[in-house]
Amino acid sequence: MLISTETIGKKGADAIVIGGGVMGCAAAYRLAKEGLSVLLLEKTEICADASGRNAGGVRQSARDVRELPLAMYGVQNIWPALGEELGVDVEYVREGNLRLGRTEAHLEKLKALAESSKKVGLDVRMVTGDEAREICPYMSDDVLGASWCPTDGYANPLHTTIGFYRKALAYGAVAVTGVTVLGLGKAKGRIRYVYTDNGVYEAGRVLVAAGYASRAIVNTVGIDVPVEREDEEVFVTEQLPPMFDQVLGTAEADFYGHQTKHGSFLLGGVSGLQHFTSNHDDHPTEAYTAPSLVRGIIRFFPSFANVKIIRCWSGQFDTCVDGVPVISNVEEAPGLTLAFAFTGHGFGISPAVSIAVKELMLDGASTSIDISGLRYDRFKAKQ
């Protein structure tokens, strides 16, 4: 679909957002609400990539301290009323997260993460295996201990992303799907042009939020962020009677999940075996290694042994070399803002990211949430 200059004004849009995942849709909403004309460009469909394939964890625990302010701000200030704000049930549940350890090495890792998070004010503590089983009685005796964060939770990623998208449209944002952004261009030293397979679009500000495809897009104006595509698998069990409301994860992050309010469990993880499936690149959304993930889960939850899996899929995300995102304006290209490299844990922080992105794009000087550790120029060659 070609968009007319009448729709976005003769001088182009105030802002172009590249990518119709949760980051792009949430940013489009915040910017349109501020009165900017916003054009959202999406290669396939809204919410078709990681944002529509993730497991919905809204977690603060076990995060790098550089992104904890975003995670904590979201849980304290946005998630509890987000459904009301968007006019959709985002199915947010805040009943805590147990991150489980089966070995002394796991417990050491969990302790270190808990200590660093406590220093920035997060309520997270270590519990023994028995205390963990009191919170969630279905776990095997193999669990030696866990970190426990009572304010973690989960939400429905599809409802959330589409909720942001619809609100963006309601405030006048225009979305074009089926258009692939090929690169960016400058005018008088500022970002101005967005080159696509459907012509050139213009805007005073451009947000790149295109997941793992973002690197190639920003490369066209000489910026590089070291991200690569990674795969993760999710599966859904048959409906079960209500068992527990907590989110569960492991020290190695090889599996995590929760029971949805419909009764099915949504379980995800990385088996580490996905690179050994020869046809994965031809069918990137198929889950190939779910059986090995399931074996791992049964070690933690023996009672799951006979539970049926009714669906599974694979999703791709943008893993950054140092494990945290880039949320930043770019000094060499005024008008350009980046929000990608979320490394498989962007959904939970997306509402807070959209506040920071809006502030970066409107003012640029400062943000109300500390994102100082997430700049684009933090990467240095090895000395």
Contact set with ligand FAD (CB under 6 A): 18-24, 41-44, 48-51, 53-57, 180-181, 209-211, 213, 217, 232, 234, 268, 315-317, 340, 342, 344-348
Rounded CA-CA distance 152/147 in Å is: 11
Pick the closer one to ligand FAD by CB: 129 or 288.
288
Please give the backbone phi and psi of residue 307, each rounded to the nearest 5 degrees, phi first: -80, 140
CB of 90 to ligand FAD, least distance (A): 13
Q: Is 296 exposed, middle or buried, given 0-12, 13-18 or 19+ CB atoms closer than 10 A?
A: middle
CB of 288 to ligand FAD, least distance (A): 13
Beta strand 181-187 with 227-237 is unpaired
CB of 190 to ligand FAD, least distance (A): 21
Q: Any bridge partners for residue 339, and if so which?
A: 327
CB of 271 to ligand FAD, least distance (A): 12
Rounded CA-CA distance 380/383 in Å is: 8
Q: Is 116 exposed, middle or buried, given 0-12, 13-18 or 19+ CB atoms closer than 10 A?
A: middle
CB of 130 to ligand FAD, least distance (A): 27
CB of 232 to ligand FAD, least distance (A): 4
Contacts of 196 (CB under 8 A, 6+ apart): 41, 179, 180, 181, 182
CB of 104 to ligand FAD, least distance (A): 27
Pick the closer one to ligand FAD by CB: 116 or 180.
180
Pick the closer one to ligand FAD by CB: 129 or 376.
376
Q: Nearest Cα to 223, choosing from 240, 236, 206, 239?
A: 206
Q: CA 267 → CA 165, 238, 247, 249, distances in Å?
A: 26, 12, 10, 10
DSSP state of 372: G
Beta strand 265-269 with 256-259 is antiparallel
Rounded CA-CA distance 96/98 in Å is: 7
Alpha helices by DSSP H, 76-146: 79-86, 104-119, 129-135
Pick the closer one to ligand FAD by CB: 37 or 274.
274
Pick the closer one to ligand FAD by CB: 42 or 64.
42
Within 10 Å of residue 361's Cβ, how many Cβ atoms? 25
Pick the closer one to ligand FAD by CB: 145 or 346.
346
Pick the closer one to ligand FAD by CB: 129 or 169.
169
CB of 206 to ligand FAD, least distance (A): 12
Instruction: Report the Cα 237 to chain-centroid distance in Å.
Output: 23
Q: Is 111 exposed, middle or buried, given 0-12, 13-18 or 19+ CB atoms closer than 10 A?
A: middle
CB of 217 to ligand FAD, least distance (A): 6
CB of 39 to ligand FAD, least distance (A): 12
Pick the closer one to ligand FAD by CB: 43 or 129.
43
Pick the closer one to ligand FAD by CB: 25 or 333.
25
As given in the structure block, the two tokens for residue 260 are 């949805």
Pick the closer one to ligand FAD by CB: 301 or 342.
342
Dihedral over Cα of 197, 198, 202, 207: its sign: negative
